Chains A and B, each alone.
Chain A
Amino acid sequence: MPTSPARYSRSIDWPTVLIYLLMVGLGWLNVYAASYSPDAPASPLSTLGFQDLMAFNWFKQILWIGTAIVLIVILLVVDYKAYDTFAFVLYGVMIALLVVTPFIARPIAGSRSWLEIGPVRLQPAEFAKFITALAVSRYMAGINLRQQNFRDQLVLAGLTLLPPLLIIAANETGQALVFGAFLLAYFREGMSPLILLILAAAGLILILALLVPKLWLIGAFTVILGLVFAFNVRVLRHHLVLALSVWAVVVGMVFGVDFFFNNVLQPHQRKRIEVLINPSADPLGVGWNVTQSKIAIGSGGLAGKGFLQGTQTKFDFVPEQSTDFIFCTVGEEWGWVGSMVTIILFMALLARTLYVAERQKSVFGRTYGYCVASIIFFHFCVNIGMTIGLAPVVGIPLPFFSYGGSSLWSFTTLLFILLAIDAYRKQDLERY
């Protein structure tokens, strides 16, 4: 350790730590409520042995939180340069682990992605997030995205895409989608905004293609494109080929949606998107989750039913109520007020993360900071979105709230590596 503990602790970004603790604390309360059973035999906890207590998710979550705090101390004590130095090594190890996992893991809930080490189950995909973030930040520090060096961009794309491909192979599509979040970090570091725009447009066209009859969509698009060029005849002359190719791509996409939908997506994934558009399409299957989740949240009202008073979550109407659908307990028991507190906490954490990222001197630190914010944001977006029927049901947890060791540890690591880097930045300043 390069300096005294007292001086070091002063350089830690305490607001982030505070927000983190609040989220984990509230998360635990909701995990407790979600796993609380009103008619369970009320034997005093003191009479229960460790084995009995391990049957309760809320008790295990205490263990995960405790170990996460130990983890934090370790992360902060490790020399920040280690993250920089060992980024690629970690990346290599992680890739190796992702490759072997499907072969040595037992299938759990349809995917072979959990490694069992004694009583502890780990999901390497969870840890792939921060390790990939470290690796791409490290690589980013050595290149300049703006300089259009095609080879560098290709390597970066490869670094980013390799883990999700391996994760998809292990049938954990939800975790793989998270890697799309890295685009926001690349955008901050100079990636052309056109890529974001094209992706956004492509997403919009895909959604519209599912909602609106195809010929209408193509007709409307042709008219708009025609109008744009009709008013700029000069532009048309210069960009006729571009205009025609854009038109062709869009038409291709519109018709490609069916192919993508029916041939690329797996049946359960197709269902999830169908259900998003029309929840009554599969009322007792995937639609059940969405409907019940909305009912649980919607029945919370303004101020909620009160702690431990939720009925929809407690009586198992909502599936996965302490992991992926933990937000239902928040919404049902704490109402709109509780939902807003959660959203505000996430916004505060994201804002603070961006703030911390921006004050980094190194490209490595800043890129990593943006990766952290983007990954957390993606989880926030998709997880809450799916519980209120705005996003397809994708099995990813709500950071710091959802029950589970792997997810808590990986998000803790993700966040506190940033705080470690940030803390040493100040040390560096003081040194000079």
Chain B
Amino acid sequence: MQYLEGRKYVVQAIFLAVALVFATRLFYIQVLDGSYKLAADRNTLQRIVQTPYRGLIYDRKGQILVQNTPVYDLMVTPREVKQLDTVRFAQLLQLPLEEVRASLKAARAFSRVKASPLLQNLSTPELAAIQDNLIDFPGFSIKSRMARSYNTHSMAHALGYVGSITPAFLEKPKYAKYQPGEFLGITGLESYYEEQLMGRRGVQYRMVNVRGIEKGAFRGGEFDTLSVAGQDLHLSIDSELQAYGELLMQGKRGSIVALDPKTGEILAFVSAPMFDPATLSGKGMGNRYMELLNNPERPLFNRPLMATYPPGSVFKLVNELVALQMGVVLPNTGFPCNQRLVRCTHNHEYPSNVGIAIKNSCNPYFYQVMRAAVMRGRSTNRFEDARLGLGEWRRQVMKFGLGDRLGVDMSQEKKGLIPSPDFYDKRNGFHRWNYRTVYSLSIGQGEIGITGLQMANVLATIANRGYYYTPHFVKSVGQGGPLPQFRERHTVGVDPVHFEALIPGMQAVVDGRGGTGNLASLAEFGISVAGKTGTVQNPHGDDHATFAAFAPAEDPKIAIAVFIENAGFGGTSAAPMAALMMEKYLRGNIAPWRKRWEFWLQGPAEKFVRHR
């Protein structure tokens, strides 16, 4: 029997083996594997986010434009829905039966126990219509939140809109803190100033038990934070001027940008066709958005920032300034109006100096100005000479804020294009192009592209005699003034004296006898306007009309660029429109006898085109 005693070691070994397995397993799940700790927090910690009050938006004169009003979401918790009479429920909501069924199905797919929105953005009257009857439908509840409401029917493109966050946004690191279902600025200023408008979320950590019932603050609220309301935005836009611009642009496509040259503040920002900002808020916003998106007129397209056109004759100003700065021409340099070089649109006096050339928008003159600036004889090879010259010319042109983003406080901005030697090398081949290839640039046609905002900024630069502030919409974030980058002066590297040589010519465009922009004159009010017309050749249809100006010429308070698509000659439509805008801004109202210009500008762009 004695040998059986050895079996006690076998029994002990079995006990010990199990203990070791347990110890190892416990060490693994308790010490090494952190996922159980996360799972425990997920179980018990409920993060309650307090969405702060979104900042308001004011216009230049302190008038409130965008504010918050309570709206209501009808929430459904699928598990609590009992014996739903779908037909009656659909009647109550005044929605098609299939839509209600589809929404309920989506809610069930999201979660059976968590509430999800069935119908969003109900206004207070809409809520009142259904609230009393909701008691018959268990599982449905009302959640209130703040949504944007608008005190203006204009500047939808500048303001942008607020919507619930999309999966595409959630993936960006910038929006890492956002949760699905939260709201944020999607476009425009609402998007650019999201951080400031949003404020800081308050977060409270609550512990909940297995049934989701609150069991008090986590660690006595040690990690809780209070929400901080968003900062208000004070826009530089004058909402009256803005509304007036939108009125004038009614029924046309194009843009108006008006700047205060002394500060770079944007006074008006019209993108036509336009829509009411309230379209993209409230109940049914999704459907209305789709309508805008599918509209062939493309009302969502932010034209002043995104539409790049050749600037037409307005660009002659930049061309001349660059050549003057290079010293290749003088203000009193004359060039013949040689129609063999390039066609000139009208017969006019001999362009014996820059003033006459600008007043008459003489194409051959500016052809020769740019040729003087580009063909400097740096190389005996005329192809190489054009390459070197164009590169240098482009660098100087780009200092005017062309061919690159200005850095306005709105995303979506397009760069435009000032073609480089590389551009032509790629297109035509190395040393396969010369000045005859690129001369269209001298009169603002061809490959060149600039935006409405850039054109207004060029005029502001001329008004300032050589510098600009980056255009911006927001004068002040909260009480803090504009963002720091908008207080920085950018000089364009052209001596002020050259501007003084140019501006009388621009005044003559408006007020000189036979000037191309006579319809923009405000001389009857003693205001001298300096401007330039432009007619942009359009291979796809009627030419685009532009007019760019600033006023008063001696002490500029407004710089403006008007683009009207397919309206033909710039002097006919764009010039009087710019004049009305400047009159409105400088004088506060339109003189009664000038109301006829408003009438003149009504209607579609076609009426301004003289078909040959």
A residues at B contact (CB < 8 Å): 38-39, 184, 187-190, 193, 292, 294-302, 311-312, 314-317, 331, 335-336, 339-340, 343, 346-347, 350-351, 354, 358, 370, 373, 377, 380-381, 384-385, 388, 390
Contacts and interface: CB of A to CB of B under 8 A. Distances in A.
A351 B16 CA distance: 10
A295 B40 contact: yes
B43 A317 contact: yes
A358 B23 contact: no
Given A312-B40, A347-B15, A388 B210 contact: no
Given A315-B215, A390-B21, A390-B25, A301 B37 contact: yes
Contact of B15 (A314, A316, A350): A350
A295 B26 contact: no
Interface residues of B, number: 38
A301 B39 contact: no
B19 A315 contact: no
B22 A296 contact: no
A302 B31 contact: yes
Contacts of B210: 315-317
Interface stretch (B2-10, B118-126, B248-256, B529-537): B2-10
A301 B34 CA distance: 8
B317 interface: no
Majority DSSP secondary structure for residues of B touching A: helix
A340 B26 contact: yes
Contacts of A295: 36, 39-40, 43
B164 interface: no
B18 interface: yes
A39 B36 contact: no
B44 A315 contact: yes
B11 A312 contact: no
Contacts of B10: 187, 193
Interface in B19-75: 19, 21-23, 25-27, 29-31, 33, 35-37, 39-41, 43-44
B216 interface: yes
Contacts of B11: 184, 187-188, 354, 370, 373
A316 B30 contact: no
B211 A316 contact: yes
23 contacts: A38-B215, A38-B216, A184-B14, A188-B11, A190-B4, A193-B10, A294-B29, A295-B39, A295-B40, A295-B43, A297-B36, A298-B30, A298-B39, A299-B37, A301-B37, A311-B44, A312-B43, A315-B208, A315-B210, A317-B44, A340-B23, A340-B26, A390-B25
Interface of B: 1, 4-5, 7-8, 10-12, 14-16, 18-19, 21-23, 25-27, 29-31, 33, 35-37, 39-41, 43-44, 207-211, 215-216
Given A335-B30, A347-B15, A388 B25 contact: yes
A347 B19 contact: yes
B26 A297 contact: yes
Query: Which 6 A-B residue pairs are closest in the complex by CB-CB distance?
Result: A298-B36, A299-B40, A315-B209, A298-B29, A336-B30, A316-B210
Contacts of B5: 358
Given A187-B10, A343-B19, A311 B25 contact: no
Given A39-B215, A188-B4, 6 more contacts: A38-B216, A295-B39, A295-B43, A300-B30, A312-B44, A384-B22
Contact of B26 (A296, A377, A388): A388
A339 B24 CA distance: 11
A128 to B, nearest CB: 23
B36 A311 contact: no
A230 B223 CA distance: 70
Contacts of A292: 43
A302 B35 CA distance: 14
A380 B210 CA distance: 28
Nearest to B42: A295
Contacts of B35: 298
A323 B15 CA distance: 23
A381 B8 CA distance: 18
Given A38-B216, A298-B29, A350-B15, A385 B44 contact: no
Contact of B31 (A315, A336, A377): A336
A299 B42 CA distance: 11
Contacts of B23: 339-340, 343
Contacts of B37: 298-299, 301
A295 B207 CA distance: 16
Given A298-B37, A315-B209, A336 B44 contact: no
Contacts of A317: 43-44, 209-210
Given A316-B209, A317-B210, A340-B23, A301 B8 contact: no
A358 B8 contact: yes
Contacts of A38: 215-216
Nearest to A300: B30
Contacts of A343: 19, 22-23, 26
A193 B25 CA distance: 28
A351 B40 contact: no
A292 B40 CA distance: 8
Contacts of A350: 15
B34 to A, nearest CB: 9
Contacts of B36: 294-295, 297-299
A354 B12 contact: yes
B28 to A, nearest CB: 9
Contact of B30 (A297, A314, A377): A297
Contacts of A377: 14-15, 18
A380 B15 CA distance: 10
A311 B19 contact: no
B43 A302 contact: no
A336 B27 contact: yes
Given A294-B29, A315-B208, A388-B25, A39 B216 contact: yes
Contact of A297 (B1, B29, B44): B29
B22 A385 contact: yes
A286 to B, nearest CB: 16
Contacts of A193: 10
A189 B209 CA distance: 51
A187 B27 contact: no
A190 B10 CA distance: 13
Nearest to A377: B15
Contacts of B29: 294, 297-298, 388
Contacts of B26: 297, 331, 336, 339-340, 343, 388
B452 to A, nearest CB: 58
Contacts of B15: 347, 350-351, 373, 377
Tell me which of A189, A298, A339 has the highest count of chain B C-beta atoms within 10 A of its own C-beta. A298
A351 B25 contact: no
A358 B6 CA distance: 11
